[in-house]
Amino acid sequence: MKDNFNLLMFAALLLPYSNICQAEQEHNNPQAIYVDYTDSSSSIGELYDFFDVSVRTERGNPVEKPATLGRKAKVNTVRMLGGWYNQDLTADTYQWDGKNFVYNFDAATERIDKWLDNDWEVFQIVLDNPPWAFQKGYNFVDEPDGVNYLKKDRVGVYGNGLPPVDAKVWNQYIQSFISHLIDKYGKEQVVSWRFRVGSEIDTRPQHWSATRQEFFDHYENTVNAIHSVLPTATVGVHFREATHKSNYVDYKGNKEDAYAPYFVSWAKSNNIPYDFLAISYYPMVAHPDHMDMDVVYNSEIAPILEHKDFNKNASFEIHEFKYIVEMKRAGFSSVESSHGSAFFAMFSKMMLENKIDRLFQWGNVKRDGFYNSEALTQLALISMVGNDMYSNRVEGTSKLDGNVVDGIFTKRSDDSGFDLLMFNFNKNDFSYQDDEPFSMSLKVDRSTGSSFRYRVAQIDKSNNREQMFLAEHERSNIPVSQGGWKKEGIHELTPIADALNDEGKAVFNDVKLKYSDANDLQWSEWKHSKTISDSQSGTMIKISNKIPSFSVQKYEIIWDK
């Protein structure tokens, strides 16, 4: 009786975060998660900070900071050289003044200064769109003739997507640009910045309207120019995923698919250096394979990263990422519900286990300072940086078909305890279902009966700002045709900015600041327990719990002194 009473009291104290239960009473075969912290071969390595760089275009405002989580903001600056879609020639760093071509590098350094003056670290400068003067001398045609570029591609979706008309002039221009940066900021500062040649080049014609080989030649020319001035500069490239297919017909009448697998072979054959190779990743809710981490790695990443010719000294990175409902002409509608929080946790596990070095993000915080869904998961993850990460195995079946219940499991480097990040995600069914029961068995190098305490923080729909608003305002879930605010024919995960009519958005903007708790992790009280002995496995920490649909649970487990 005393043991049963203690168990009931323990369960009651932990609600609502950890609802301890006899899992088998609710589900005949709940999922069981095993981690062996005593086996060095299970160690994956140190959990590293892979999500500290923000992508900003020429329209980016340095005053608007991302969720830095205690770190200094780092920026990857896109379209630094000019060549913008709006054809604002004053922004170009290479200009035709009517008689001569002239450099206007102050236009770039003024942009750089704005980032530095607002306490950003310049992490990477992107050398993508050539200034418009580099088109002077081209003849454009209406139909592919194999010689001249197409008239319709003179101005791309993002500006100038054509190679410079004169490669030698471009080489000298890049040398002069790097020299200008060194003169202004000092060699030590500039060598700490990275340089990327191009943006998502095989997205044609939006970013590039020439051919694959023309880009490879352009890359070689550019990297040679940079290294002639700054031999130790870090330089790399950005493509699409390995499965990318294109229907674009270029000026030679050809279609070309993903460039990256060809690039790594070409670079090796020609001894062309690259310090990093990046792709983009925009998982879309309408495509389940985009949210299947095994498929994503094996089909979109491994054909590049595990290619026999991939430079083993180069890092593999993702330079554009957003979990989206749909892609727009030059933007997207992103997932803002707790689905995004759970997805980012699952995605992070894949990133870390496969040693993908960096993930560049678009904004992860709203202009009013509120975190978006993936930033909440990053808030939970950031304190785990520096811990030792361990592999795990999952046994049993989920209660709801398709639910992925898994986690990231780490051990603190000072051996004081463990930090775990659990998630529950389903790529096929976005509805909220019954909680998933699971058990965790953690094998530890301690004696039986060792005391520990733990607490749990949960990220779910109940502390997601947009979902809190939707739950409190009935009209947000009623179609406009029936007197509500919800637009017709939208996906269930469409964010408020795209899902509600003007009246609904106005109400949201009036009350959104009251959801201040949505920016913090809400922790349970500390609970106390002891390790137990397993006759077959050794000394174990065992915890049973439930995890709601599309949620994240952060566990802190600390040894008592």
How many angstroms separate the CA atoms of 511 and 505, rounded?
10
Residues sharing a CB contact under 8 Å with residue 248, sequence separation 6 or more, in sequence order: 204, 205, 255, 256
Closest CA to 544 of 561, 527, 558: 527
DSSP secondary structure of 529-544 = EE-EEETTTEEEEEEE
Predicted local confidence at residue 23, as pLDDT: 35
**pLDDT of the residue at 25:** 41
Q: Mean pLDDT, to the nearest integer, of 173-184?
A: 98
Partners of residue 55 on adjacent β-strands: 76
Give residues with Cβ within 8 angstroms of 253, minimum separation 6.
144, 146
Q: Which of 242, 143, 260, 246 is CA-nearest to residue 204?
A: 246
What is the structure's pLDDT at 14? Answer: 44
- SS3 at position 359: strand
* Helix ranges restricted to H, 118-232: 167-185, 187-192, 212-229
C-alpha 428/C-alpha 438 separation (Å) is: 21
Residues 452-502 pLDDT 10s: 999 999 999 999 999 999 999 999 999 999 999 999 999 999 999 999 999
pLDDT in the model for residue 368: 80
Q: What pLDDT, on the 0 to 100 scale, is given for residue 365?
A: 85
Q: Taking the C-alpha atoms of 186, 191, 192 and 195 in order, what is their torsion angle to the nearest 10 degrees? A: 120
Does the structure show a pLDDT above 50 at 513? yes
Q: Picking from 222-236, 283-297, 362-376, which range would have the lowest pLDDT averaged per residue?
A: 362-376
Element (H, E) at 288: none
Section 48-61 average pLDDT: 96
| Helix, coil or strand: residue 347 | helix
Are the C-beta atoms of residues 304 and 277 closer than 8 Å to each other? Answer: yes
In degrees, rounded to 5, the angle at the alpha carbon of residue 219 between the alpha carbons of residues 217 and 221 is: 70
Report residue 4 as tokens.
Answer: 């049963």
Residue 20 has pLDDT above 50, yes or no: no
Distance CA 327, CA 222 (A): 31
Q: Which helix (H) or strand (E) element contains residue 410?
A: strand 404-411
* 445 pLDDT higher than 90: yes
Interstrand relation of 31-36 and 393-395 (parallel, antiparallel or unpaired):
antiparallel
CA angle 52, 288, 406 (to 5 degrees): 60
Comparing 60-64, 166-170, 270-274, which segment has the lowest mean pLDDT?
Answer: 60-64
- Assess whether pLDDT exceeds 50 at residue 5: no
Q: Quick check: 306 and 516 in contact, CB under 8 A?
A: no
Nearest-5° Cα angle at 453, 448 to 455: 140
Q: Is the pLDDT of residue 136 over 80?
A: yes
25, 223, 316, 543 from 555: Cα distances, Å:
24, 46, 30, 10
Would you place residue 256 in the very low, low, confident or very high pLDDT band (cuts 50, 70, 90)?
very high
pLDDT at 16 over 90: no
DSSP 520: S
- CB-hemisphere CA count at 13 Å for 483? 1
Look at residue 367 in the predicted model and tell me its pLDDT. Answer: 74
Tokens of 211: 């051919």
Handedness of CA 63, 64, 70, 72 (dihedral sign): negative
Q: How far apart are CA 135 and CA 238, in angstroms?
A: 23
Averaged confidence pLDDT in the chain = 93
For residues 195 and 283, give the distance between their C-alpha atoms in angstroms, rounded to a whole number: 26
Beta-carbon contacts of 213 under 8 Å, excluding residues fewer than 6 positions away, are none
What CA–CA distances, in Å, run from 521 to 83, 249, 274, 377, 381?
A: 43, 50, 40, 9, 11
Q: Is the peptide bond before 16 cis (omega within 30 degrees of 0)?
A: yes
Q: 208 near 217, Cβ under 8 Å?
A: no
Per residue in 302-318, pLDDT (tens digit) is 999 999 999 999 999 99
* Segment among 66-80, 243-257, 342-356, 507-521 with least mean pLDDT: 507-521
pLDDT number for residue 218: 98
CA 513 to chain centre: 26
Contacts of 525 (CB under 8 A, 6+ apart): 13, 14, 455
Q: What is the largest CA-CA distance in the chain?
A: 96
Radius of gyration in angstroms for the set of CA atoms belonging to the chain, rounded to a whole number: 26
State the pLDDT at residue 17.
42
Backbone angles phi, psi at 484, to 5 degrees: -100, -165
Give the residue carrying structure tokens 């998630």: 423
What are 318-371's pLDDT values in tens digits?
999 999 999 887 789 999 999 999 999 999 999 999 999 999 999 888 778 889
- pLDDT of 28 reads 58
